[in-house]
Amino acid sequence: MNRKIQLKIFFAFFIILVSCNEKETQASLEIDAYEQHVELRWSPSEEIDSYSIWVSLDGANFTQRGETKDTLFLDFVSDLGSELQLQYEVKASNEGDFTTIASGSAQTRKMTDEELLDMVEYYTFRYFWHGAESNSGMAPERIHLDGEYPQNDAHIVTTGGTGFGLFGIIAGIERGWVSRKEGLTRMEKIVGFLESADRYHGIWGHWIDGQTGKTKAFSKKDDGADLVESAFLMQGLLAVREYYKNGNSEEKALSDRIHTLWQEMEWDWFTQGGKNVLYWHWSPNFEWDMNFALEGYNECLITYVLAASSPTHTIDPEVYHQGWARGGDIKTTANAYGYELQLSHNGSQEYGGPLFWAHYSYLGLNPMGLQDRYADYEKENRNHTLINRAWCLDNPGNFKGYGEDLWGLT
């Protein structure tokens, strides 16, 4: 075989290899399609400024859907229709040049209620699992997938948000998204960090530096204990304690460590020496200057429930009745859209307030069948939600989109 023929064969083989590599790159696009959005994920490319995402309904004519520096993109496609057959291309930009690096197809579909709940549960788990701050394992105050954090804030974690995330991680373990051992390792990291982080009479701050454990000021005078955010954290930790208390020796040991943290929280100290109300903040530099009394009804109910049930630093019943319930003034006879409210929401007699007031405390507190002298909390939460929905259906402000398919404001 002469040299010229050998070169032709070599170059033909080289072209075939390049083509195969291009196909592998194209096939690297991972796609999950749901009812109203499509999630796309791809491998990063070196020396790339940004990525643009393009979609086609016919496989020939593409329109741009967005641009990102990340390698994950959510395309909300309700503007294109429903039950769609879509073709995607991801293009990489480098100094103005665009190269298609990945492509794939997606089929959106009608989802059952169960599928919708599965999706929300998985997304919640994934946010807290993959988005965790590296050293502490806790939830960052904000997640910037493109890596663009405000300077010095990349490792700031939130106590309340971490408490919410602990429920999501337990669900992830139960659903098999991570193994029980992986879940335990993450929980041990979080608890170990909290044991050594700044605390004030057993209470953490709102924000903590996830690398050092030092409190990060939430505002000028809010540079110490945050009783409410610590309550949101502890309700999640107590769920973890219960989850592991009958497990193997490592799991029981973690449960015991959480119980110690729970015992060390001095709820009664936050009555400012015996007043009949709990106070939200205390600062090592400004002490009680913020002077924010916790009065209901709002998202803070769990703070009083935990304070009252503390095994070591419980509060007197009058702290609940005179402080949280405002001596009975928490009660109301308000009615909106035909739904009765029993509680005055932050002093407001209308509509019941934003829905997070019906969410935060009830991650660890079951409202079903829960009653006291002021309210039936199952009924209160149901009516609060129905009022929110009815207001969006009524849409008195004529906001775009509000209606049967867009409600649940918080």
What are the pLDDT digits (tens) for 146-180? Answer: 454 555 577 999 999 999 999 999 999 999 999 99
pLDDT at 143: 63
DSSP state of 180: H
- Please check whether residues 314 and 345 belong to one and the same domain: no
- Among the candidates 79, 110, 141, a domain finishes at 110
Flag whether pLDDT at 287 surpasses 80. Answer: yes
Domain tally for the chain?
Answer: 3
Give me the CATH number covering residue 159: 1.50.10.140
- Among the candidates 320, 355, 377, a domain finishes at 320
Please state which of the ranges 5-14, 241-250, 374-383 shows the lowest mean pLDDT.
5-14
- Please check whether residues 98 and 75 belong to one and the same domain: yes
**pTM, whole model, 2 decimals?**
0.86
**195: amino acid identity, one letter:** E
What are the pLDDT digits (tens) for 30-59? Answer: 999 999 999 999 998 878 889 999 999 999
> CA 175, 176, 181, 184 torsion: positive or negative?
negative
| 3-state class (DSSP) for residue 5 | helix
The closest alpha carbon to 165, from 215, 130, 212, 204, belongs to 130
- Please check whether residues 161 and 178 belong to one and the same domain: yes
pLDDT band at 347 (very low <50, low <70, confident <90, very high): low
Range of the domain at 61: 25-110
- Please check whether residues 80 and 132 belong to one and the same domain: no
User: How many angstroms separate the CA atoms of 230 and 162, rounded?
Assistant: 10
What are the pLDDT digits (tens) for 366-400? Answer: 999 999 999 999 999 999 999 999 999 999 999 99
What would the two tokens of residue 397 be?
């402000």
pLDDT band at 349 (very low <50, low <70, confident <90, very high): low
What would the two tokens of residue 20 be?
């195969």
pLDDT at 232: 98
User: How many angstroms separate the CA atoms of 192 and 259, rounded?
Assistant: 13
pLDDT at 15: 31
- Among the candidates 110, 137, 171, a domain finishes at 110
Please state which of the ranges 54-58, 222-226, 345-349 shows the lowest mean pLDDT.
345-349
What are the pLDDT digits (tens) for 323-342? Answer: 999 999 999 989 999 999 99
